[in-house]
Homo-oligomer: A and B are copies of this chain.
Amino acid sequence: MPLLIFIEQCRLQVDKALSTILPDESKVSPHLLEAMRYSVFNGGKRVRPTLVYAACHAFGGVREQADPAACAVELIHAYSLVHDDLPAMDDDDLRRGKPTCHKAYDEATAILVGDTLQSQAFEVLGNDCLCPESTLTDSVRLQLVNILSQASGLAGMAGGQAMDQCATGSVLNQQQLELMHSHKTGALIRASVRMGALCARALQDDELKSLDHYARAIGLAFQVRDDILDVIADTETLGKNQGADMALDKPTYVSLMGLEQAKAYAEELHHSAISALSGFDHSADFLRQIADYIVRRSY
């Protein structure tokens, strides 16, 4: 199956599951629910759920089994975008070509949307009624909670976000930049791959190590490509203001290494990701194709 069809199937699969989790009606706060749905169903590429499903597939699992993990990582990702866009953070007006949550609603609502999406991410792992087609054991579900909470918190995404806030306007070297990105975006990408594999079956140490090597490499490559796109793509393709990071005086791979070296580095990371999967059979082809896609995507 070509990757684009697989990606589309994953998008449909996770969106169906997310629709059940975020129903049309809420007795408590319809306004909040509407803003949550606005922030989750916004044309996102669903890269992290796709990684979850692809990793599950690589270990022989069926897609339904990984629904809770796919939804949970996407909900965490969605919450982080809503909070990152806030005026006190990156102060972005546009996200994927549409007004950001605090622009479409208001700041208080956007803060609550992020908070609630995070709770919901853990609820979908804890509550086996939310994705009824998945029959994960309590033990696996608890491991998913463990992986996701660590990837989201101080030692993961939020910690990286704090490093990013502190770094604005300062000069970072490559090691510092990678430390920041390996937390800010890398942690959740690694968690997605690991959680997907875990939904298929318990992992052996060597499998876990290879998989993590792959995930680290594509996580970094994703960020390097993002920085490249921030410079070469136009605003329409990107759905956000072109050069936004440069304008904020944020350190990027391009500002650090220059455009050509950043491109070469993305290719190097791609090679490293593919090598890490050398012990895997054709079941891991989607993971391989995702690595290709990440370094060559144009949006």
Q: Which of A122, A141, A163 has the most CB of B within 10 A?
A: A122
Q: A83-B111, A114-B115 are in contact. Are A149 and B162 (CB under 8 A)?
A: no
Q: Find the B residue at minimum CB distance from A120.
A: B153
Query: Which of B123, B154, B155, B159 has a CB less than 8 Å from the CB of A146?
Result: B123
Which of A11-19, A31-39, A41-49 lies on the face that meets chain B?
A31-39
Contact among B36, B83, B106, B155 with A115 in the assembled complex (CB-CB below 8 Å): B83
**A236 to chain B: which residues have CB within 8 Å?**
none
- B183:A28 contact, CB within 8 angstroms: yes
A139 within 8 A of B: yes
The answer to whether B88 and A165 have CB atoms under 8 Å apart is: no
Q: Is A86 an interface residue (CB 8 A)?
A: yes
Q: Which residues of B contact A146 (CB under 8 A)?
A: 123, 126-127
- Cβ–Cβ < 8 Å partners of A32 in chain B: 154, 158-159, 162
Q: Note all chain B residues with C-beta closer than 8 A to A79.
A: 115
Contact A89 B118 (CB under 8 A): no
Nearest Cβ on chain B to A221's Cβ, whole angstroms? 21
CB-CB under 8 A for A119 and B28, given A145-B142, A146-B126: no
Q: How far is the CB of A274 from chain B (nearest CB, A)?
A: 29
**A223 interface hit (Cβ, 8 Å):** no
Show 26 residue pairs from A and B whose CB-CB distance is below 8 angstroms, ordered by the A residue. A28-B154, A28-B155, A28-B159, A29-B159, A29-B162, A29-B163, A32-B154, A79-B115, A86-B111, A88-B106, A89-B108, A112-B158, A112-B162, A115-B115, A115-B152, A116-B154, A116-B162, A118-B119, A119-B152, A122-B122, A123-B149, A123-B153, A126-B142, A127-B149, A138-B142, A142-B145
